[in-house]
Amino acid sequence: MSEARSYGEHPSELVGRQIAGYRVEAELGRGGMAVVYQARDLRLDRRVALKLLAPELARNDTFRRRFTHESRVAAAIDHPHIVPIFEAGETDGVLYIAMRYVAGRDLRQLLDREGPLPIPAATRIAAQVASALDAAHDHGLVHRDVKPGNILVAPGTDSDHPEHVYLTDFGLTKKSLSLTGFTTVGQFVGTLDYVAPEQISGKPVDGRCDVYSLACVVHEILTGRPPFRRDDDMALLWAHQYDDPPPVSAGRPDLGTAVDGVLAKALAKTPDDRYGSCLAFVAALRAASVRAPRRPAVPEPPLWARPVFRHQPRR
Ligand SMILES: Nc1ncnc2c1ncn2[C@@H]1O[C@H](COP(=O)(O)OP(=O)(O)O)[C@@H](O)[C@H]1O
Ligand SMILES: [Mg+2]
């Protein structure tokens, strides 16, 4: 089996096959550097999500080292909002990760279907991601690739907790490979919509780069768009480094202008000017959105009660 074949060039190719003790059942999704399958762990007879990384990543020594280190650290974090990792390893030159299968949608799909979300849902989702990120930071782990595609939204337990959010993909960022997310063969592998200025300029990063990325995600949850949209990647990288984000309240009459200040602080160009933690950002967001609505919020049905439409994934 060649590397490309074992990675799964074509969606159906691996279905029914066995990889490292897992039987591949269906493709769940693919990003620029990995394909995620629904699979069955044959030893424990349980469903898992099996992520197979692109063969070129397995050939990159820096990536392999970090993959091994960070999958260990991520596996050691036992947190309700971090997808539990069962196993990470290598077979036939392919790096794989087996993790809990999360039944639901990712936030990318949810935003593509729903558009901007009601403020209570936005803050609930942000708070769960923030608690996961702060826990990771406490373990000395920086996510580096917080984006809607890495936030999985499953049905929650009750009406007080309508959704349960999981963060995934620690340490798997393409940004460690190259600045612009292009692979060695020049293929674009991801989005630059959520990348912090210090990641772009190659400075050392800490948890505050995740505060920035989370703020980009929150901006998109509230407005339907990430803070910066530009025609090409260079212009987008420039905007992250030098441009002021547009106010979120402009298109949301139910949001007070206080929220603009909160987003501006979380999206500050210099990490020292941001909130010190993700939960501090979300606490400020919640306080600001409660304080000064320009128009009362309209009650919304829970996300899970809405009709489901087919969507075109956007990465
Ligand atoms: N543990 C999981 N359970 C269920 N689906 C998952 C899981 N992990 C990832 N997925 C799905 O697979 C898709 C592809 O994942 P990935 O290769 O990481 O690409 P990206 O993060 O760029 O979206 C995700 O967007 C998500 O919908
Ligand atoms: Mg992902």
Catalytic residue among 41, 145, 169, 210: 145
Decide whether any atom of ligand 1 lies within 6 Å of the 104 Cβ.
Answer: no
In this predicted structure, which of 91-105, 230-244, 279-293 has the lowest mean pLDDT? 279-293
Of 291, 139, 147, nearest to 215 (Cα)?
147
pLDDT band at 294 (very low <50, low <70, confident <90, very high): low
Has 145 been annotated as catalytic? yes
Decide whether any atom of ligand 1 lies within 6 Å of the 101 Cβ.
Answer: yes
pLDDT band at 96 (very low <50, low <70, confident <90, very high): very high
The tokens for 268 are 């500050």
Per-residue model confidence as pLDDT tens digits over 107-117: 999 999 999 99
Which ligand 1 atom is the nearest neighbour of the CA of 106?
27
Q: DSSP string covering 182-202, please?
A: B-TT--B-S--TT--HHHHTT
pLDDT for residue 176: 43
Q: Is 32 exposed, middle or buried (0-12, 13-18, 19+ CB in 10 A)?
A: middle
Q: What residue owns the CA closest to ligand 1's atom 22?
A: 31
Q: What residue owns the CA closest to ligand 1's atom 23?
A: 149
pLDDT for residue 60: 83
> CA 208, CA 210: separation in Å to the nearest integer?
5
pLDDT band at 170 (very low <50, low <70, confident <90, very high): confident
- CATH class of the domain at 105-174+190-289: mainly alpha
Ligand nearest the Cα of residue 28 is 1
Annotated ligand binding at 265? The verdict is no
Start-to-end C-alpha separation, the chain: 29
0.85 surpassed by pTM: yes
pLDDT at 51 over 70: yes
What are the boundaries of each domain within the chain? 15-100, 105-174+190-289
Q: CATH classification of 15-100, choosing from 3.30.460.10, 3.30.1020.10, 3.30.200.20, 3.90.580.10?
A: 3.30.200.20
> CA 291, CA 32: separation in Å to the nearest integer?
41
